[in-house]
Structure 1
């Protein structure tokens, strides 16, 4: 197991370094934070109703939580792409290959996610006023982010194992966007119908946004939240439940998926891809 940890750690660091030296991936690291910062710039002086709170102030921590949750999409896409091009099969064929591969993916995805959050957060703090940041804020950010990644990355691995082609990942995008739309990311969730609020609270995106808001916003901002409370215990409970579910199910699903990988299945998927291109 120590061998798998070392190999996975080394693999993850190599992939992370490559993502910041490859032109296309480097653009992706800066494009989404840049677009969201631009949106926040235009909303920074817009008030939310009669609360006296600025929409840009509410938006910054919410987007931070949303971006953290979207690590599951990155994990799913990368695993599916590696399955399609045979990378997963090659990992399966080497000693400790699969554990090392998965550890490497966790390292690279979580490292890239932390970098993206920093790219967004640092200029965002300069752009948006009205935040309440102290020593406790960074501690809250740390535990919410850590628990959120444990809750979402295994789910991303499960979803990635369900798709055999990178093209089919588009099926995942619409449901994720729908959940984001009702999770209080771009507008306080209390402005939505109550039945939509209940649906949003099932998924980790809402709780990651709430946790980030509790860390960075002043106490007065809690008035626009459900029950006028930051609900830290509920945040731990829901994210913890997703984490347990993912950690229990992901190894089983991934082992079953790995057993089904062979040279013939990879070749068959490659032939189908070539036929679509042709």
Structure 2
């Protein structure tokens, strides 16, 4: 890979990320959902689950959910939107432009996800008791975050390349909402029938939440998990498998999508977008 392409891609991503921090609409998209979640979790601070408040026990799962949404939904949304407005076509016209574009989006989505996680985690450390905050905990949070982003961002890019318009994002959002319900984000997965638990364990979201819980919650909280185990090896294995699948499939899909991009296809998508506005 051309080092200059990597450098330009990193610069592009950093500039776009800084722009989101200076944009009021983007800042509200960071803050509002997190503030609503914090209020909901704070109201559950007096309820306990295995010696840990329900609010505190839910925070790690929400962090895992944030990673999944960043990698899958945010990345997919960017790809769909910028296919429609011609950004991808312009990137294609530049030598190595698609690679630089993709690197930039990875930096942007990773930065947006990390900011969203920080906005949730930092106040939670003050609001709730019961977190484990040693060196091993922070190393676990970092490891799950990096592996989670690698596992989800290529998938998000793949899905975004396959969809034709922003309205098609419902094809990603609806399954994501279903996975939130069954993946143990807000209450233990063990309350569901075993067949539902198996479905949840196929996808990254459950393992992201489990990995975050194993890093941040005390050992006593493991009794609410499947098999009363944090299953570290399984977490790394499943997320690693999704990362391999995404890294193998995404370049193939992106190359095919880029070959199909043309001025006429962009114009047709713009016309459809104008019709939706009317």
**Fold in common (TM above 0.5):** yes
CA contact (8 A) 2:152 2:243 kept: yes
Q: Distance in 1 between matches of 2:277 and 2:236?
A: 46
Identify the residue that residue 31 of structure 2 maps to in structure 1.
30
Aligned-CA RMSD value:
0.9
CA contact (8 A) 1:8 1:100 kept: yes
CA contact (8 A) 1:3 1:96 kept: no
Q: Distance in 2 between matches of 1:57 and 1:140?
A: 17
Matches within 5 A, 1:135-174: 135-174=135-174
Q: Distance in 1 between matches of 2:7 and 2:51?
A: 51
Q: Distance in 2 between matches of 1:68 and 1:45?
A: 27
Matches within 5 A, 1:111-190: 111-190=111-190
Q: CA deviation at 1:273?
A: 1.5
Q: Distance in 1 between matches of 2:191 and 2:48?
A: 14
CA contact (8 A) 1:185 1:209 kept: yes
Q: CA deviation at 1:111?
A: 0.8
Q: Using structure 1 for the length normalisation, give the TM-score.
A: 0.97
Deviation by residue 1:222-257 (Cα, 9 ceiling, x = unmatched) = 011001100000001000000000000000000000
Q: CA deviation at 1:3?
A: 1.6
Q: Distance in 2 between matches of 1:164 and 1:132?
A: 44
Q: Distance in 1 between matches of 2:39 and 2:57?
A: 15
Q: Distance in 1 between matches of 2:61 and 2:217?
A: 10
The count of aligned residue pairs is 276
Q: Distance in 2 between matches of 1:57 and 1:274?
A: 46
Q: CA deviation at 1:69?
A: 1.2
Q: Distance in 2 between matches of 1:44 and 1:60?
A: 11
Q: Distance in 2 between matches of 1:269 and 1:87?
A: 13
Q: CA deviation at 1:53?
A: 3.1
Q: CA deviation at 1:7?
A: 1.1
- Can you give the 5+ residue segments of structure 1 that lack an aligned partner in the other structure? none
Q: Distance in 1 between matches of 2:69 and 2:57?
A: 19
Identify the residue that residue 22 of structure 2 maps to in structure 1.
21
Q: Distance in 1 between matches of 2:155 and 2:182?
A: 20
Identify the residue that residue 9 of structure 2 maps to in structure 1.
8
Identify the residue that residue 48 of structure 2 maps to in structure 1.
47
